[in-house]
Amino acid sequence: MHKSLALLGHVGALGLLLFVTSAHAAVIDEEAKASLLLYHINQHLLTRCHERFYMQLRKGTRWYLMELQDVSSAVTAEDLTYDDRLEGVAWRGRGRVYTKAYRVYTPRAGWGAWQQPMVSPNFTVIKQWGQWVIAPQETRQNVLHNIRPVDCKQIKR
């Protein structure tokens, strides 16, 4: 009987540990998503005006003002190595900022129709020594040079 109770106690402790571990993983994933979105705002890849998100994108020689609908971020965690942990890495993964739709403003026509979203660049997301480090993946850095901040005064509502 005592062995059964002891085994039950160990199983219960293991279950609690797994629950706490998965809850911690969910919390740190949410931190990673929030940090990725904040990075986009701080780096002027996205601008928030009038409770909406905007960006200015260059195609060829022209700049286009775009309004983004339902902006969110998503991340995918990667397994950490022993060396990662020794170097203070608590989380590592990739992430993207998504939008459900976008529309373009032109001075002649005003706001165009909502369109299907474009594929956004991938970012490396790392939490190291308690700080989030976010960087575009090398192959996508040239895309980021074609984005500039939006002046909220130029938004026609």
Given this model, what pLDDT does residue 87 score?
A: 97
Residue 7 has pLDDT above 50, yes or no: no
Each residue's pLDDT tens digit, 112-150: 999 999 888 889 999 999 999 998 876 556 667 788 889
pLDDT of the residue at 146: 84
pLDDT score of 3: 56
Q: What is the mean pLDDT of the chain?
A: 84
Provide the residue range defining the domain that includes 9: 2-154
Structure tokens at 118: 């474009």
**Total structural domains within the chain:** 1
H or E element, residue 152: none
Extended strands (E) in 20-120: 47-49, 52-59, 62-69, 72-77, 89-98, 101-106, 110-111
